Structure 1
Amino acid sequence: MIEPFRRLVRPLTSRMSLALRVAILTTLSVAVTLAMISAIVYVTVAAEFKSSLDDSMLRRANDAVAANYVPTEKNDAEDALTGVKAFVVRGGELFAKAADKDFPFDHHEVAVSIGTQERSMRTVKYNGVSYRVVAVRASPGVALVLAQPMESIERALDRLKVILLLSSAVGVALAGMAGWAVAANGLRPVRRLTAATERVARTQQLTPISVSGSDELARLTTSFNSMLQALDASQHRQRQLVADAGHELRTPLTSLRTNIELIGQAADNAERSLSSEERHEIMGDVRSQLEEMTTLVGDLVELARDEPMRRDPEPLDFADVVTQSVDRVRLRAPGVTFDVELEPWLVFGESQLLERAVTNLLDNAAKWSPSGSTVRVRLTEGALTVADQGPGIAPDDLPHVFDRFYRSSEARTLPGSGLGLSIVRRAADRHGGTVDAASESGGGTLFTFVLPGSEEG
């Protein structure tokens, strides 16, 4: 029963605006509430009228019994002035005027006359008029019955019914208008958000919108502005990454193009043939530039991944990762001694990313360490420290050493793209850790790479 109704209503509501649906829902809610209140008021007032009439008629009947009242033609005529009819029921038979012989009495009055019921109250129809009938026991086997028309009560209830219907109709109309006004005014921020979203999609301009108030819609607007700011920052980072990558790729590409042109000219012109030493020098330069481009492209791909780890993290000993990185860097930096002391530290993470980050830290230390110096590597309670004996980092450069493509004035003369330490920070962030850099007082730089985990046990 409910599902067919939903299928019938859904196409109608789907074409309505949200404000109209809110207004209709408000109107229906108020209409149901007013209908229930009107019904309760009507039933309560009707019951109160009947109760008041019953109390009045019982009091008159009891007073009449106490005064030994017996209905006669004369008494009936007098009572007719007030609209009250009086009857006597004896032994189950009605004694009254001839004109009222057909008055509809039943077992209620009989029960009162024979003593099985003390009194009775009910409503009957007689000659098209509603009567409230009350019976009290007058004496053994005799009951006094009073019947009073309810025309005045019915007229009052009819007036009350009209008043309730009119007031409910006015209330529903006012509720509909108020619901529409509230919905239209309350949904104004939503319309602004919709317009802002459409503007962003149309113009690609991530301009925040103004926020007024402190309610839920204001918080929604604030969240929307935060999203716009995040998108703007992401676009800025992407543009900066592309610009920086293009700048870094320009140098090796230029060198490669120059070397290839030299080889091509030598191949086309026998007089410009290259000696064996020159060929080896050019090929060595080409190989070096290719390695630099390969490293740069790999770093760019790694930094372009803003999503969290795709691989399921696996338990591993961070000390093993550091050991493998140290062994690899030792081969590339034979003139530097590595003083290594490691404690086991169990972490959950991506071994390849962690190994690359540690390798970048060690490569950086080896690059800045003079020949014959020592790089101190320690792993204690999840904190990896790498200390070199180089010149240290200038105070102005310390806040930027982990930025993409950032290179100090001293580093610009050395090989590298300025992405290694950015990858270190990315690895720390993706594993819930931290990385810091500091210049030591006696010279050199201290990097601290901290990962959450526990000791093996």
Structure 2
Amino acid sequence: MPLRQRVALVSAVGVAVALVLALLIAYFVVRSEVRGQIDDSLKAQAGLIAGGDLRALGEGIPAPSPSAGGPAQYSQVVASDGTVVADFGGLRLPFDAVARSVATGQGANAFEDVHVEGSSLRMLVFGVGGGAVELARPLEAVDRVTAKLRLILFLICVGGVGVAAALSRLAARRVLTPLAEVASAAQHISETEDLTRRIEVRSDDEVGELVRRFNLMLDSLEASRTALDRSVKDQRQLVAAASHALRTPVTSLRTNVEILQETPNLADDERHELLSDVVEQIDELTTLVASLIELAREPAQSVHFEPVRLDELVDQAVVRARRNAPTVAFDAKLESLVIDGDRERLVRALNNLLDNAAHHSPAGEVVEVSLSDDGLRVRDHGSGIDPADLPHIFDRFYRGTDSRGRPGSGLGLAIVRKVIEQHNGLVTARNAPDGGAIFDVTLPPAQSKPTGSETASLRRPPRP
């Protein structure tokens, strides 16, 4: 049986039981009240007779006033041996064991329901000197009232149970509809893998909270799958782009090695030139493979945060850049700055950023490097960045218009962005008004700053 029907059935049964009990109580209360009025009228007449003489009562029984219920319809005076002294009303009342015990003084006054000649009577037996008096009233009127009451209460019970069943079914449907929607959504997702479906929250109760939690779970699953799909797509693009990027240096390296292998009698200067090309191509492959490994890592994989003097790392990167690009001057103005970061990854990002600036700076130009609490700025005086290239310069394997004829893999700035984002920072690029490109890097400071000499401002003049 479906849950909705079970809930409706249980609710209807519960209401029906409660209604039946309430109607039974009402029936017995009304029945007892009506019969109690008859008992009161009999006791009122008995009060007038109490203490009377048996012979005197045989001549007539006093009757109460109409306000007290009037006289009994049937009455009978009997001696202790059962002899009827007198009867009134034309109906002989029974003299049973209860009446006998009262007449002989062995029992207390008592009420009885008796049947005489097809009539139901309510009879009171009470003792008088030497015998007992039996007073009786017919119960036909009471029976008619109680029968009509039973019919009315039965109809009320049937109608109430029907209404309760309908309301229970409606309430069960209203309460369980969200659960049915959750089940339908789960089935839909299992069949179609569509995580975009959501369920309307209709209430603030436990069922509504369940629906909200289900929607939050779907949000989380959808975000996870979107991230997974994006990661798979990025990995596929990375593999495809890496295959293309590796093809040229590998082919060139293979060609040079084959020439060296197949031509043992090369002139020394030609052999030296080929070997220099081989070494350069191996360096290029090493750099490219290292970059690919870096980009293939998960965003938070192996990131080890510790307090790092960023000014020292930038200074080391400037020294390296001067060594690798001797035709370009570097003007470094560095202030002490401590951040929480991964030293190895920051070094790689800084080296790539300065190599890019040197790569696009003509001989004799200056690359300006400044570091302060506001962040790191690297400014070159080259040809700048083509406006069409600006939105893409941090993409993997993207190479600007003026870079496509030069060596390089197009991964350097992509690594810069990835490392900076792993440190909850931001890197941006723009063109300077008077020419050249400006790269700005902002990184959050360390949670606790060093004191003393570590906070001293460092100013380094350009090194030759």
Letter in 1 for 2:30: S
In structure 1, the partner of 2:189 is 193
What is the aligned length?
377
Letter in 1 for 2:420: A
In structure 2, the partner of 1:120 is none
Q: 1:192 to 1:224 in 2, by over 3 A?
A: farther
Q: State the Cα distance separating 1:445 from its structure 2 match.
A: 0.9
Q: CA contact under 8 A between 2:73 and 2:136: conserved in structure 1?
A: no
Aligned equivalents of 2:362 and 2:313: distance in 1? 25
Aligned equivalents of 2:401 and 2:334: distance in 1? 34
The answer to whether residue 390 in structure 2 is matched with residue 398 in structure 1 is yes
Q: 1:315 to 1:185 in 2, by over 3 A?
A: closer
Q: State the Cα distance separating 1:352 from its structure 2 match.
A: 0.8
Q: In terms of Rg, which structure is larger?
A: 2
Letter in 1 for 2:325: A
Q: CA contact under 8 A between 2:72 and 2:136: conserved in structure 1?
A: no
Q: CA contact under 8 A between 1:377 and 1:387: conserved in structure 2?
A: yes
Q: CA contact under 8 A between 2:318 and 2:354: conserved in structure 1?
A: yes
**1:42 counterpart (20, 40, 53):** 20
The answer to whether residue 449 in structure 2 is matched with residue 453 in structure 1 is no
The answer to whether residue 266 in structure 2 is matched with residue 274 in structure 1 is yes
Aligned equivalents of 1:185 and 1:343: distance in 2? 61
Aligned equivalents of 2:302 and 2:49: distance in 1? 103
Q: Which moved more, 1:37-46 or 1:284-293?
A: 37-46
Q: State the Cα distance separating 1:438 from its structure 2 match.
A: 0.8
In structure 1, the partner of 2:284 is 292
In structure 2, the partner of 1:407 is 399
Aligned equivalents of 1:322 and 1:288: distance in 2? 26
Q: Structure 2: where are the runs of 5+ without partners?
A: 51-56, 62-70, 76-92, 116-121, 125-134, 202-210, 452-464
What does 1:437-448 align with in structure 2 at a 5 Å threshold?
437-448=429-440
Aligned equivalents of 1:125 and 1:304: distance in 2? 100
CA displacement 1:248-300 (0-9 Å, x = unmatched): 11110111111111012124xxxxx1122111111110111111111111111
Q: CA contact under 8 A between 1:318 and 1:347: conserved in structure 2?
A: yes
Aligned equivalents of 1:103 and 1:341: distance in 2? 129
In structure 2, the partner of 1:84 is none
CA displacement 1:325-347 (0-9 Å, x = unmatched): 22222221222222212222222
Aligned equivalents of 1:60 and 1:282: distance in 2? 132
What does 1:191-230 align with in structure 2 at a 5 Å threshold?
191-197=187-193, 229-230=226-227
Q: CA contact under 8 A between 1:27 and 1:176: conserved in structure 2?
A: no
In structure 2, the partner of 1:31 is 9
Q: State the Cα distance separating 1:385 from its structure 2 match.
A: 0.4
SS of match in other structure, 2:404: helix
CA displacement 1:86-110 (0-9 Å, x = unmatched): xxxxxxxxxx9632618999xxxx9
In structure 1, the partner of 2:342 is 350
Aligned equivalents of 1:100 and 1:76: distance in 2? 22
Q: 1:336 to 1:40 in 2, by over 3 A?
A: same
Q: CA contact under 8 A between 1:428 and 1:434: conserved in structure 2?
A: yes
Aligned equivalents of 1:305 and 1:145: distance in 2? 105
Q: CA contact under 8 A between 2:311 and 2:371: conserved in structure 1?
A: yes
Q: Structure 1: where are the runs of 5+ without partners?
A: 1-19, 80-95, 114-123, 128-132, 136-143, 198-207, 268-272
SS of match in other structure, 1:98: coil
Q: 1:66 to 1:445 in 2, by over 3 A?
A: same
In structure 1, the partner of 2:368 is 376
CA displacement 1:183-230 (0-9 Å, x = unmatched): 766643332221223xxxxxxxxxx68858756688877776666654
SS of match in other structure, 1:446: strand
Q: 1:266 to 1:244 in 2, by over 3 A?
A: same
SS of match in other structure, 1:410: helix
Q: 1:34 to 1:258 in 2, by over 3 A?
A: same
What does 1:288-367 align with in structure 2 at a 5 Å threshold?
288-367=280-359
Q: 1:66 to 1:426 in 2, by over 3 A?
A: same
In structure 1, the partner of 2:236 is 239
CA displacement 1:150-191 (0-9 Å, x = unmatched): 985996699579849974996699689969x95766643332
Q: 1:99 to 1:278 in 2, by over 3 A?
A: same
Aligned equivalents of 2:383 and 2:101: distance in 1? 120
Q: 1:100 to 1:300 in 2, by over 3 A?
A: farther
Aligned equivalents of 1:126 and 1:234: distance in 2? 95
In structure 2, the partner of 1:91 is none
Q: 1:291 to 1:390 in 2, by over 3 A?
A: same
CA displacement 1:429-451 (0-9 Å, x = unmatched): 11111000011011111100110
Q: 1:351 to 1:209 in 2, by over 3 A?
A: closer
CA displacement 1:353-372 (0-9 Å, x = unmatched): 11111111111111112222
Q: State the Cα distance separating 1:382 from its structure 2 match.
A: 4.6
Aligned equivalents of 1:306 and 1:146: distance in 2? 100
CA displacement 1:300-347 (0-9 Å, x = unmatched): 111112331434421222222212222222221222222212222222
Q: State the Cα distance separating 1:239 from its structure 2 match.
A: 2.4
Aligned equivalents of 1:317 and 1:400: distance in 2? 31
Q: State the Cα distance separating 1:125 from its structure 2 match.
A: 11
Q: CA contact under 8 A between 1:103 and 1:126: conserved in structure 2?
A: no
CA RMSD of aligned residues (A): 4.6
Aligned equivalents of 1:331 and 1:418: distance in 2? 22
In structure 1, the partner of 2:258 is 261
Q: State the Cα distance separating 1:145 from its structure 2 match.
A: 12
Q: State the Cα distance separating 1:47 from its structure 2 match.
A: 2.1
Q: 1:195 to 1:103 in 2, by over 3 A?
A: farther
Letter in 2 for 1:363: D
Letter in 2 for 1:437: A
**1:430 counterpart (416, 422, 432):** 422
Aligned equivalents of 1:77 and 1:193: distance in 2? 83
**1:386 counterpart (378, 381, 387):** 378
Aligned equivalents of 1:431 and 1:145: distance in 2? 104
